[in-house]
Structure 1
Amino acid sequence: MIKRNLLVMGLAVMLSACGFQLRGTGTNELSIKELNLSARNQYGPTVMQLRRALESSGVKLYASAPYKLVLTNEQETQRSATYTGGNRSAEYELTTVLNYALEGQNDTLLLEDKLQVQKYYVYDGNNVNGSGQEATQVREEMRRDLVQGMMARLQQLTPAHLDDLQRKANERAEAEARALREAQRVQDETPQQSPMEIPAR
């Protein structure tokens, strides 16, 4: 037993020396150091876990931060994948989809995307309590996967990438404003027809 533990520890040291890191154990260094985090369910488990992950990565969270991450929608679905009538067991597929958006200066939309996680669990009709606990555990694992996925995507946002996204958002906003002004000018310059008068009999 001691030899096996020493072997595992030795392999871990060797792998870390080579730069290898297990998923979820590496550093979550983010270029974004200040962030406003909001969600429809502000105190839901997903946003609370993400808040803790961001804070532990050195991100300062406050309302007037230059960037705003909005968890716009989180949907969970469950469907039966397989069914065995004899022992009343069934395999269920759980899917969680998390839609999010990142906003920049003047609430301009920089990007919007979604994360999706799928897992399976077996429901045993002869062990309802155990199946319920397994489903709860699977949902917690899915939530952790969502948070890790969000952190991985935020890690990809370098200052240069953020500047480029902000520039494109500003260009879109300016183009939309020009189009609105042009439409208003055309409307103002178009003669308005007076309503047709019907002579009284």
Structure 2
Amino acid sequence: MYFSLASCGFHLRGTGKVEAPAALSVLQVSVEGNLPESSPLLAAMKNALRTQTDIQIQESGDAPRLMLYREQSDSRVLSVTSTGKVDEYLLKYEVSFQLVDVDNKPLSEPQTVKVQRDHQFDRLNVLAKEREERELRSEMQRDAVQQILRRLSRITLIDSDANKH
């Protein structure tokens, strides 16, 4: 008895290795501006780099540095009920990043990743909806990290030596 296997090439999003340019085989990762060193974003980014790429993370040295900065989370009312109560929110999350060399000279253009989700609000189930909103915000942060990884795989590096002349 013979079995034949065929594959359609489907892969779950976020699985497999992300290929990065050779110049980024070793990378430092840091947060700047309003982000603390204990930022969940920094931890999520380092974890994603370790598990989904072949990039080695270095804490110091002369490796290029991925700077994460200007993380913002916001919400706005999308719809209200006939009695004027909030029915739905639009949650927004964005973070900027840039690659720099050891002297903080740009190796890439600054980029911003934006993620948004709709969130239904229920006045009768406030605690559950608050927990759901926290989970949505955490999911949005993970999605932003995945977008940064994908962008790193296609990034065009600026020649920092050319900027010296």
TM-score category of the 2 structures, normalised to the smaller one:
0.7 to 0.9
Aligned-partner Cα distance in 1 for 2:133–2:30: 27
* Residue identity matched to 2:107: L
User: By how many angstroms is 1:79 displaced?
Assistant: 0.6
TM-score normalised over the length of structure 2: 0.83
1:21 to 11, 16, 19: 11
Indicate if the aligned counterparts of 2:61 and 2:102 stay in contact, CA closer than 8 A: no
- Percent sequence identity over matched residues? 27
Aligned-partner Cα distance in 1 for 2:62–2:149: 18
1:132 aligns with 2:130: yes
User: By how many angstroms is 1:22 displaced?
Assistant: 2.2
Match of 1:179 in 2: none
Match of 1:61 in 2: 57
Indicate if the aligned counterparts of 2:77 and 2:86 stay in contact, CA closer than 8 A: no
Which residues of structure 1 form unaligned runs of 5+?
1-12, 175-201
TM-score normalised over the length of structure 1: 0.69
Give the count of matched residue pairs: 153
Aligned-partner Cα distance in 1 for 2:11–2:18: 12
Match of 1:145 in 2: 143
User: By how many angstroms is 1:34 displaced?
Assistant: 0.5
Indicate if the aligned counterparts of 1:30 and 1:155 stay in contact, CA closer than 8 A: yes
Match of 2:89 in 1: 92
Largest Rg, 1 or 2: 1
Indicate if the aligned counterparts of 2:17 and 2:54 stay in contact, CA closer than 8 A: no
Match of 1:51 in 2: 46
1 or 2 for the larger relative contact order (CA 8 Å, sep ≥6)?
Answer: 2
* Residue identity matched to 2:137: R
RMSD of Structure 2 on Structure 1 (CA): 2.0
* Residue identity matched to 2:47: R
Aligned-partner Cα distance in 2 for 1:53–1:101: 17
Match of 2:161 in 1: 170
1:30 aligns with 2:26: no
Greater displacement, 76-85 / 87-96 = 87-96
Indicate if the aligned counterparts of 1:39 and 1:72 stay in contact, CA closer than 8 A: yes
- SS of aligned partner of 1:127: helix
Indicate if the aligned counterparts of 1:35 and 1:59 stay in contact, CA closer than 8 A: yes
Aligned-partner Cα distance in 2 for 1:90–1:153: 35
- Cα distance change, pair 86–18 in 1 and its aligned pair in 2 (3 A): same
Q: Deviations over 1:46-91 (max 9, x none)?
A: 1111100111223221111421110121011111110115594521
Aligned-partner Cα distance in 2 for 1:39–1:105: 15
Which residues of structure 2 form unaligned runs of 5+?
none
1:39 aligns with 2:31: yes
